[in-house]
Each structure stands twice: as structure tokens, then as C-alpha cells.
Amino acid sequence: DGGITQSPKYLFRKEGQNVTLSCEQNLNHDAMYWYRQDPGQGLRLIYYSQIVNDFQKGDIAEGYSVSREKKESFPLTVTSAQKNPTAFYLCASSIGAGENIQYFGAGTRLSVL
Amino acid sequence: AQKITQTQPGMFVQEKEAVTLDCTYDTSDPSYGLFWYKQPSSGEMIFLIYQGSYDQQNATEGRYSLNFQKARKSANLVISASQLGDSAMYFCAMREGGYGQNFVFGPGTRLSVLP
């Protein structure tokens, strides 16, 4: 079955530590996105990528980094510079950047120890 | 300014009844798209329905329909014959212009379906 796989489902970060969230899709989509969701709120865009080896900052990119070395993979690193990383992180993809519908993974819940 | 407004933090509906979830939006772009997503307690965002700004007819997908009133900048979701499995958070979202990255979500409405 085609879809978007995020791992791990739960992740814990120690102070000063970088952690990486995985996002893999087998939908052959060109565009991929990372969102952050805080309790009781909607989604906010962190980073997006329209094509391999290219990505742009979203609304809340500070303290995060991404890479897009392969079409199917778009990992997100939460760096130690992100002072409030506790949130639910969702990865999405769409056929192209101009395509309308974004499809989402099941999310990763990140907590700080 | 809020681009997507969902004024109902929580809604209750009796099983088998219809329910309307409100969404108003703000944009000056003539080309835009409106979306509704469902987020059950598991966390995954599930796409429900899409309406383009130039679409002449209201979108429908099974039990979901979108009541699009362009002049009022309103895109309400109507769920007919509610089921217990419809209990979830519902998010209205908008894409402005021609690029998928300009995607803005509303704060959501929590729908509870009562048996």
C-alpha cells in the first residue's frame, strides 16, 4: 500500500541534544512538508521541499533543519537551538508543489526529558 | 490576522443526525483552494474534501459536502448521517495562489457524536 511512514511514533529528547524524525513516502510525490502541532492548535509549517536537493523555510523554521537527498525521504532534525520542541510533528506530501491535496503520515510525538 | 477562522471549539451531534462545522477564510488572492481534514485521536490527518475558488458547484464526497459561499468567504463542512467514528478534530485549511506551500490551517473544531 502507498503511503507516508513516520518514525518513531514517540521520541524523547534530552537537553542540548539533536534528534531526527524520519519521513518516508512511496507515493512518488515530488513535494514534501513538515508541520508542527501544539495542543489544541492547528498546524504550522516548518519546512517544505518541492524537489530533491531543494527545500525552503516555512513559518517556524528556527531551530530545525531538513535534507532532501532522495525523493522518498525528508528527515527533520530538531536541534538544540529549538528551545521548546515538545509537540506533535506531522509530515505530508503532495504530487507537486502546485498540487492541492496534501497527504499526511501518522505523526511523531516529541517530548523533552 | 487570522486567515482561517473556526468559531466552534467543540460541537456535539446525535448519531444519525447531520452537523455543520463552520469555516471562514480571508484572502485577496483570486485563486485559492479550501480543504477539510479529519484528525482522530490517533493523530493522523485524513483528507476529506476540497473546493477550488473557481469551482461552480459545491464539492461532495460521500457523507461530506462543502457549503461554499464565496461572497461571504465561508466554506462550511456538512456531515450527513453522523456516525460514532466521526468523533474527531476537524480542520479547515486554505491554499493561496498556485503553490502548495502556502497552506494555512484553522484552529480546529472537536466533534463528538453521541449514541
Q: What is the DSSP string of B13-81?
A: EETTS-EEE--EE----SSEEEEEEEE-TT---EEEEEEETT-SS--EETTEEEEEETTTTEEEEEE-S
Q: Which of A31, A43, A109 lies nearest to residue B105, judging by beta carbons?
A: A43
pLDDT at B7 over 70: yes
pLDDT score of A1: 65
> With 0-12 CB in 10 A as exposed, 13-18 as middle and 19+ as buried, what is A44?
middle
Gap between the Cα atoms of A11 and B82, Å rounded: 35
Cβ <8 Å between A103 and B105: no
Mutate to test the interface with B, among A29, A41, A101, A109 (most CBs of B within 10 A): A101
Q: Which of B93, B100, B106 lies nearest to residue A99, judging by beta carbons?
A: B100
* Tens of pLDDT, residues B18-77: 999 999 999 988 888 999 999 999 999 999 999 999 998 999 999 999 999 999 999 999
Distances, alpha carbon B81 to alpha carbons A73, B38, B58, B64, B65, in Å: 39, 16, 19, 10, 12
pLDDT score of B50: 93
Residue keyed to cell 460521500:
B62
Flag whether residue B105 sits within 8 Å of chain A, measured between CB atoms.
Answer: yes
* Tens of pLDDT, residues A25-81: 999 999 999 999 998 888 999 999 988 999 999 989 999 999 999 999 999 999 988
Which chain B residues have a beta carbon less than 8 Å from that of A104?
37, 44-47
Cβ <8 Å between B108 and A42: yes
Amino acid residing at B104: V
- Spatial neighbors of A29 by CB under 8 A, at least 6 apart, are A93, A94, A95, A96, A103
Cβ <8 Å between A88 and B43: yes
pLDDT score of B2: 65
Flag whether residue A97 sits within 8 Å of chain B, measured between CB atoms.
Answer: yes
Distances, alpha carbon A72 to alpha carbons A1, A21, A28, B12, in Å: 15, 14, 7, 40
